[in-house]
Chains A and B, each alone.
Chain A
Amino acid sequence: MRTISFDGVIVGGGGAGMRAALQLAQSGYKTAVISKVFPTRSHTVSAQGGITCAIASADPQDDWRWHMYDTVKGSDYIGDQDAIEYMCSVGPEAIFELEHMGLPFSRTEEGRIYQRPFGGQSKNFGEGGQAARTCAAADRTGHALLHTLYQNNVKNETVFFNEWFATDLVKNQDGAVVGVIAICIETGETVYVKSKATVFATGGAGRIYASTTNAHINTGDGVGMALRAGVPVQDMEMWQFHPTGIYGAGTLVTEGCRGEGGYLINADGERFMERYAPNAKDLAGRDVVARSMILEILEGRGCGPDGDHVKLKLDHLGEEVLESRLPGICELSRTFAHVDPVKEPIPVVPTCHYMMGGIPTNIHGQALTVDAAGNDQVIPGLYACGEVACVSVHGANRLGGNSLLDLVVFGRASGLFIEDALRQGIEMRDASATDIESANERLVALNERNDGENVSALRKELQGVMQNYFGVFRKGEFMQEGIKKLDDLKERIDNVKLEDKSNAFNTARVECLELQNLFETAEATAIVAEARKESRGAHAREDFTERNDDEWLCHSIYHREGRAVSKRSVNFTPKTVDTFQPKVRTY
């Protein structure tokens, strides 16, 4: 097997990966991005409404501490306050950098970046009413962001391995991460990509659910690789169901629609969020809105012949606002819902959207594990940023517009830290031939196996189990049943059949490897969801309906070995502001 060597290797060419890559490329270190799709095809491209940050355009008095307060509250108090402080305070600098790179933000009359209201936003620590803090490029902010980052990587001559798929981490005899095994999809060649710093920016895994806003490519590759390499994952029970996925198709309709004045109605035409969140109404936290929608449906006030969705009303905003502020939504709605939002409301239903959990990291992107004594230990050589990481700024529920900020701020932070570490010198022992072979075992086994089940059927079954047993509302006995079904799937997915063994652009092979990553993600989710016996943020249990701060004001940690679940402390010690103490969370 050929070895290719770099100072830094970034796995994933979405927003986080390309922001980290840009930082490293500018530093002059030999950097490569491995992306299974051409970078502008990454899922960041689908982000719509914007990037939340206190740049004080809409409100000159705006303060990053207010954004921090909202984010801590939104997280239902298990977001790490040092990380949230870092994200919210560094955010404006990171946004202005993007603008200087050319990101075509929408503008105010003053020529500043346009900001719109989003859910969970307040002024003055929840006391000053709704804030407008989400910086937008119409409703195509992710597209504008991703293309801008790609363009600037082109400018800085970053090396891209496009349409290469990383299969597993390579660790040396000391347990340090020293690169990845990767397949060139076009030729089928497998290589060892050696690196002093390996950054996972592999994105989410929404495809574990049958109904998702996520792209086909969101298959939890980073989570799978991490777990197989003995790296734990954190808060995997916390999955965000976005209130407004288009009914039937699952495609996303931005929260910006409600930010611009749209609202949800039930079959009676009632604006039901007024009952569930009297103050914030349709702009309450996403978890709150999604649950309210499901309750409306369960109580018989859903729309359509099966009463299984609600509607998002936008027509009162007028054609001009819709076409200028939400042009992409008009397009998506016409294509996928066959509804023109200028005239009729859009049928919507809560849809899996975002993985709050992931690889635990510190604010420098360094991946962490927890030792037997319960202390954090840095995993040498491994970093993570963006959706695959759990730094954790989102805790149990992410606020809209915070994912783009997360990936830019922590992609940048990872790059800055690695640049510094490289300058000081990173010494790690080389991987032995056995280390490399053992990392390549999964791929070899897949290539050699001639029996087993079909990848599509297995994937469909897995997605069905997750959808039915680990959705918006959860219950212990159902989850235990779901775990049994996953147990049954485990060996079948381990032994998935690859019929087509050819080398040239073999997407069937990639899909088999992705399925195994989906399974790792799903299993972690299931085990931890069953273990967390309370309701917090996106994790809503019918058998434990209350938040239990005495036992569960903490992160969950999941190790693949023995499917062990443990607890990890939440950081409550920001550096420059007082701790935000847990309170009852209402909107």
Chain B
Amino acid sequence: MLQVSVYRFNPETDAAPQMQEYQVETGGKDLMVLDVLEMIKAEHDASVTYRRSCREGVCGSDGLNINGKNGLACITPLSDAVKNNKLVIRPLPGLPVVRDLVVDMSLFYAQYEKIEPYLQNNSPAPAIERLQTPEDRAKLDGLYECILCACCSTSCPSFWWNPDRFVGPAGLLQAYRFLADSRDQATDERLAKLDDPFSVFRCHGIQNCVNVCPKGLNPTRAIGHIRTMLLNRAA
């Protein structure tokens, strides 16, 4: 029997959060963490609350703190997470808890919106697509794949400290995705909006973001590129 400890908090009934213990029969299978949560919800306690959708690591709903490390429940196998037959599941750190494992993502989304996450190009559009060389397109690899799960930003001490002013790794990865796009014409405006002591420069290269990204992306590297662009712009 797997020992599972789940963070519980219902704002309507609980004064404080608590960890609740469940014994889950996995049948010795190397299930995903999400499978275990589904079993708890189906067989033990329907009130256990978490988000989930695609169950294959592309929708970004089920970012959780699993045995101390942020990750997606649906693609984290027990063999990667469980230590000493114990699985501890908590909400992503640093954001307000709505209920149990569900956090309020408003600040995270606000930072995403702040970087104007859409292509800006005011030249008249051609009758077909805008052309882009495979080499220029390749510059978007490792950037566009972000699924907005917030595993990175909520593992970042700088984001914990200044979630309102530091854009955070997820937002900055997307900022660079548009800075790096050969079709985007707003480079200067984008950089001007990031050019303050907090938006980018609060990154201290701790690289928790790189360590936890379930898609294997590297926000720290993207932030480094933005930093260079900002410094070149100032020079």
Chain A residues within CB distance 8 Å of chain B: 37-38, 40-43, 45-46, 55, 95-96, 99-102, 104-113, 137, 140, 143-144, 147, 151-152, 154-155, 186, 215-217, 249, 251-252, 328, 331-332, 335-336, 454-457, 460, 499-500, 502-508, 511
Contacts and interface: CB of A to CB of B under 8 A. Distances in A.
A500 B118 CA distance: 41
B140 interface: yes
Given A502-B12, A502-B13, 4 more contacts: A46-B58, A110-B131, A502-B47, A505-B99
Kindly name the residue among B49, B127, B184 whose own CB sees the greatest number of chain A CB atoms within 10 A: B49
A336 B77 CA distance: 9
B54 A102 contact: no
Nearest to A498: B46
Contacts of B42: 454, 456-457, 460
Contact of B133 (A42, A45, A111, A251): A111
Nearest to A150: B117
A112 B99 contact: no
A499 B44 CA distance: 12
A338 to B, nearest CB: 9
A101 B53 contact: no
Among A95, A100, A454, the most chain B Cβ lie within 10 Å of the Cβ of: A100
A112 B53 contact: no
B109 to A, nearest CB: 8
A147 B144 contact: yes
Interface residues of B, number: 56
Instruction: Kindly list the 9 A-B residue pairs having the minimum CB-CB distance in the complex, ordered from nearest.
Output: A102-B119, A111-B131, A456-B42, A99-B129, A151-B118, A505-B99, A41-B59, A500-B47, A155-B118
B129 A45 contact: no
Given A500-B47, A504-B98, A151 B10 contact: no
Contact of A45 (B54, B131, B132, B181): B54
16 contacts: A37-B59, A38-B61, A41-B60, A96-B125, A105-B137, A110-B131, A147-B144, A152-B118, A215-B59, A249-B56, A251-B56, A502-B13, A502-B47, A504-B99, A505-B102, A507-B49
A151 B12 contact: no
Interface in B55-102: 55-61, 75, 77, 98-100, 102
A164 to B, nearest CB: 14
B183 interface: yes
B119 A143 contact: no
Interface string B99-121: 11010010001000100111101
Contacts of B75: 335
A46 B54 contact: yes
A243 B10 CA distance: 43
Contacts of B183: 102
B148 interface: yes
B118 A107 contact: no
Nearest to A97: B125
B52 interface: yes
B51 interface: yes
A111 B182 CA distance: 12
A419 B140 CA distance: 35
Contact of B11 (A55, A499, A504): A504
A327 to B, nearest CB: 9
Which residue, of B54, B131, B181, has the highest number of chain A Cβ atoms within 10 A? B54
B43 interface: yes
A478 B53 CA distance: 32
A115 to B, nearest CB: 12
B119 A154 contact: no
B147 interface: yes
Contact of A505 (B49, B117, B132, B134): B49
Contacts of A455: 46
A101 B178 CA distance: 12
A250 to B, nearest CB: 9
B140 A104 contact: yes
Contact of B54 (A41, A112, A186, A336): A41
A143 B147 contact: yes
Contacts of A503: 12
Contacts of B181: 102, 104
Given A111-B133, A456-B41, A504-B98, A216 B53 contact: yes
A127 B61 CA distance: 46
Interface string B11-34: 111000000000000000000000
A100 B130 contact: yes
Contacts of B52: 216
Given A100-B129, A106-B137, A502-B13, A43 B53 contact: yes
Contact of A40 (B49, B144, B148): B148
Contacts of A99: 129-130
Contacts of A336: 56
B137 A107 contact: yes
B128 interface: yes
Chain A CB count within 10 A is highest, among B42, B46, B49, B130, for: B46
A336 B99 CA distance: 30
B145 interface: yes
A330 B9 CA distance: 38
